[in-house]
């Protein structure tokens, strides 16, 4: 047996010995908690305008037309899309901590300054401010993926990745639940002051306690660091000698990989369905069913709250299946992704046939249509890291760019189909379209999705000076 084979076998045995071993709660859990808090404050700052604009409308100078409101609310997302793809390479080059901290700290300061800017420049300045906020928040998801891939061992991805990403649901719940109280106590500016101040406090905490990788942490114990590194070692190829941030990014390989293309498709499909639900269904329920859920803070927060709870249930079930080894990791990911896509698909169609006299049933269906989608947190949402721990942030940025384009397209598509808000037949066409997109996206993921680390994850060190085209030709041979 060769020396290289002996070393590989030894490492595999050692990896198995540590696979189910835990150091208890450690610094990696603190990093995930900080990411949870980052997504909480990030989404609180994202949705604060949606709730504040209602309180602002009580003042004549802010009683804008629907066209202006649409421009103001959409400006954030136009900025958000622009930094999705650059965010991944930036996080790999400078570290996920740097990009997350830079993005959210700047966004927090801008949020605190929002009331002043609105008073000085009206809706035009507010649009510009929100666009800039979107640019900096665009760094968040790809950078979070980069940090998670560095800190979380493979066997903990489903639970810890899920915990980090439910922060966006929690932030939305908190903002929807407290906005009315904040506006009544301090006026509409207090909504921005509170969310911006929370972001500033988080920035201070992350500056002192956050770290991009275990190697950069001064608080991690040797045992915990070894546990993480052994887990990651099992996913690296023998000839990967360079630190991951020095490796050439195999851009062409991403777009030639069926697994990555399937991931783009399923994330885009989920985004179209999710944002159709959240932005258009309230209009359907008000105009067709006579149920104004936006006027009730509890009803507005209910789908998010249920989604928050169910996400932990699905993550626990996924972890149990993984520990018992009764199904493969691929089957596990695709099972929960199918629940998160096909469940809303069926319930969305059913929602279109609920009579106006059964508005309570409609609220229940809407709640679970949104909430069951949280099963996808244990499906496609962490699959980027499965495919490529080194380039997970970049792949997430690519997928999220396409997904957010679909999010922007959703209200435009609905507006083209629904010309009469009271016409239930037109709304059913929307529901069937969204259901069909859910189905196709999930089917592509089930057929072409993979959970094994892809060959281009670890470009060999000797190819560092080669061109990208030469590197990818080498990978294919």
pLDDT score recorded for residue 467: 40
CA distance 417 to 413: 6
| Exposure b/e, 142-158, CB count within 10 A at least 16 = b | bbbbbbbbbbbbbbbbb
pLDDT score recorded for residue 11: 44
196 vs 282, higher pLDDT: 196
* Closest to 197 (Cα-Cα) out of 131, 107, 98, 73: 107
CA distance 148 to 103: 17
pLDDT score recorded for residue 435: 94
Indicate the pLDDT class of residue 239, thresholds 50, 70 and 90: low
Interval 298-342: pLDDT, tens: 677 888 889 999 999 999 999 889 888 888 989 999 999 999 999
- Which residues lie below 8 Å from residue 408, measured CB to CB, with a gap of 6+? 74, 77, 78, 81
* Closest to 141 (Cα-Cα) out of 83, 75, 71: 83
Q: Which of 46-55, 385-394, 438-447 has the lowest mean pLDDT?
A: 46-55
| pLDDT at residue 296 tops 50 | yes
Phi, psi values for residue 53, rounded to 5°: -65, -25
Q: Is residue 340 within 8 Å of 375, Cβ to Cβ?
A: yes
CA distance 79 to 403: 14
- What is the arithmetic mean of pLDDT over 435-442? 96
Record the pTM. 0.84
- Which residues lie below 8 Å from residue 24, measured CB to CB, with a gap of 6+? none
Sign of CA dihedral 306, 307, 308, 313: positive
Phi, psi values for residue 44, rounded to 5°: -60, -40
pLDDT score recorded for residue 136: 96
pLDDT cut 70: percent of the chain above it? 87
Indicate the pLDDT class of residue 6, thresholds 50, 70 and 90: very low
Interval 186-213: pLDDT, tens: 899 999 999 999 999 999 999 999 999 9
Distances (CA, A) of 386 to 138, 215, 316: 22, 21, 18
pLDDT score recorded for residue 238: 57
Domains with residue ranges and CATH for the chain: 27-234 (1.20.1250.20), 249-476 (1.20.1250.20)
* Closest to 173 (Cα-Cα) out of 19, 17, 88, 51: 51
Interval 11-39: pLDDT, tens: 444 444 444 455 568 999 999 999 999 99
* Closest to 3 (Cα-Cα) out of 231, 168, 238, 222: 238
Interval 150-179: pLDDT, tens: 999 988 888 899 999 999 889 988 988 888
pLDDT score recorded for residue 345: 94
């Amino acid at each position: 047996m060769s020396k290289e084979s002996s070393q590989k076998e030894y490492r595999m045995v050692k990896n198995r010995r540590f696979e189910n071993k835990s150091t208890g709660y450690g610094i990696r859990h603190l990093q995930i908690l900080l990411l949870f808090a980052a997504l909480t404050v990030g989404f609180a700052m994202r949705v604060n305008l949606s709730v504040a604009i209602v309180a602002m409308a009580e003042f004549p100078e802010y009683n804008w037309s629907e066209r202006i409101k649409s421009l103001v609310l959409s400006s954030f997302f136009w900025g958000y899309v622009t930094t999705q793809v650059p965010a991944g390479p930036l996080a790999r080059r400078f570290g996920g901590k740097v990009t997350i901290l830079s993005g959210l700290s700047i966004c927090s300061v801008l949020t605190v300054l929002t009331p002043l800017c609105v008073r000085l420049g009206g809706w035009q300045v507010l649009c510009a401010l929100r666009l800039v906020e979107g640019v900096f928040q665009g760094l968040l998801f790809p950078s979070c993926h980069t940090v998670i891939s560095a800190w979380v061992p493979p066997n903990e991805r489903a639970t810890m990745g899920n915990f980090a990403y439910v922060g966006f649901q929690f932030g939305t719940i908190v903002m929807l639940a407290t906005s009315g109280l904040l506006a009544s106590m301090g006026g509409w500016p207090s909504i921005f002051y509170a969310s911006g101040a929370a972001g500033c406090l988080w920035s201070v905490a992350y500056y002192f306690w956050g770290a991009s990788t275990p190697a950069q942490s001064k608080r991690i114990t040797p045992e915990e660091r070894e546990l993480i590194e052994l887990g990651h070692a099992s996913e690296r190829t023998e000839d990967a000698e360079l630190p991951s941030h020095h490796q050439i990014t195999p851009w062409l390989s991403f777009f030639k990989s069926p697994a990555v293309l399937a991931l783009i498709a399923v994330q885009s499909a989920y985004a179209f369905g999710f944002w159709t639900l959240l932005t258009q269904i309230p209009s359907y329920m008000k105009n067709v069913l006579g149920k104004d859920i936006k006027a009730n803070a509890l009803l507005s927060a209910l789908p998010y709250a249920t989604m928050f709870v169910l996400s932990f249930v699905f993550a626990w079930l996924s972890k149990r299946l993984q520990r018992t080894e009764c199904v493969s990791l691929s089957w596990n990911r695709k099972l929960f992704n199918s629940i998160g896509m096909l469940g809303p698909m069926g319930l969305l169609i059913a929602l279109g046939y609920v009579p106006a006299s059964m508005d309570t049933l409609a609220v229940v269906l809407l709640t679970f249509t949104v909430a069951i989608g949280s099963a996808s947190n244990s499906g496609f949402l962490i699959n980027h890291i499965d495919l490529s721990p080194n380039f997970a942030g970049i792949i997430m940025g690519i997928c999220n760019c396409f997904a957010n384009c679909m999010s922007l397209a959703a209200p435009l598509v609905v507006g083209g189909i629904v010309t009469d808000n009271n016409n239930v037949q037109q709304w059913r066409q929307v529901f069937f379209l969204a259901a069909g997109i859910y189905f196709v996206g999930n089917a592509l993921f089930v057929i072409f999705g993979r959970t094994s680390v892809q060959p281009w994850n670890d470009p060999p060190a000797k190819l560092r000076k080669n061109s990208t085209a030469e590197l990818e030709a080498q990978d294919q041979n």
